[in-house]
Amino acid sequence: MKEELSQPEFLSVPRAAKLCGVTRNTVYTWVKNGKLKAYQTPGRTNLIRPADLVAFMREHGMFVTPPLAELAQMDEKQHATLSGANPETDKPALLVVDDEPSMRALVTRCLKGFCPLYQAETAYEALHLLTMHPNIKVVLLDLRMPGKHGLEAQQEIIGLRPDVSVAIITGHFDEYAKEILIHSDVERVFKKPFNLEELQAFVQEKLTLYNA
């Protein structure tokens, strides 16, 4: 059995309210006014990174329990691992979404030097990174991933970030050909094993448009 992949840890508004000793409405107000950072899912649910909550609590003199502080430290480490790029850069970046580490490694080696590169193992991580990093402009998306089908993820990505170009990378094209054709906003399909030069040309073409 394949080992379940870890996902970024988020706190719901009710849980954040309990940790801060305030009401849910108070936390909602903090988020709405931009005082507390939150990640909003396509379903408009607010989720809060532990590191952001701890930073907010310390800034306002609130007591941070040791378990929460430890969770925030783990969040920071995981966030740095997932990003794989300088979050401060304004250069158009690429996000590779595939649950196979070997495939992510192959693609990143192929495209290293073209642009900043980010990696995600699941659609959930991909949406998280797209929210955190507006400089991501091109997404290479696998079809078969834990938790969510690639085409479902593609629709959520477009809904969240309509400015992003999405290409599918798959070893199961024949199985999903009809579904892929229905999703007209899929810009390109690369069948595994794909031609590295064709992949490089596609990414370079898209990045040139964003750099123009």
- In the chain, the amino acid numbered 30 is W
Where is pLDDT greater, at 2 or 182?
Answer: 182
Where is pLDDT greater, at 19 or 81?
Answer: 19
CATH number at residue 62: 1.10.10
pLDDT for residue 1 is more than 50: no
117 and 186 fall within a common domain: yes
Pairwise CA distance, residues 39 & 10, whole Å: 9
pLDDT for residue 146 is more than 70: no
102 and 123 fall within a common domain: yes
Q: Does residue 2 sit within a domain?
A: no
Identify the pLDDT of residue 87: 45
Q: Does residue 51 sit within a domain?
A: yes
Tokens of 49: 């990174």
pLDDT band of residue 5 (cuts 50, 70, 90) is: very low
Strand partners of residue 188: 167
Identify the pLDDT of residue 207: 84
Range list of H helices, the chain: 13-20, 24-32, 50-59, 66-83, 101-111, 123-132, 150-160, 173-182, 196-211
Q: Does residue 60 sit within a domain?
A: yes
Domain that holds residue 192: 89-211
Q: Does residue 4 sit within a domain?
A: no
- Number of C-beta neighbours around residue 124 at 10 A: 20
Q: Model-level pTM?
A: 0.60
180 and 126 fall within a common domain: yes
Q: Does residue 5 sit within a domain?
A: no
**Model confidence over 148-176: pLDDT tens digits?**
666 778 888 888 888 899 988 887 666 66
Pairwise CA distance, residues 150 & 143, whole Å: 4
Strands 93-97 and 136-142: parallel
56 and 103 fall within a common domain: no
pLDDT band of residue 3 (cuts 50, 70, 90) is: very low
Task: Say if CB 174 and CB 101 are below 8 A apart.
Answer: no
**Model confidence over 46-101: pLDDT tens digits?**
888 888 899 999 988 899 888 888 888 887 776 665 555 444 457 889 999 988 88
Please report the sign of the dihedral spanned by the C-alpha atoms of residue 47, residue 147, residue 152, residue 90: positive
CATH number at residue 170: 3.40.50.2300
CA 194 to chain centre: 23
What SS3 state is found at 100?
A: coil
Q: Which residues 6+ apart lie within 8 Å of 36 measured at CB?
A: 16, 27, 30, 48, 52, 53, 56
**Model confidence over 95-141: pLDDT tens digits?**
999 888 888 888 888 888 888 889 888 887 888 888 878 899 999 98
Pairwise CA distance, residues 180 & 72, whole Å: 39
Q: Does residue 157 sit within a domain?
A: yes
- Number of C-beta neighbours around residue 138 at 10 A: 25
Q: Considering its fold, how many domains does the chain have in total?
A: 2
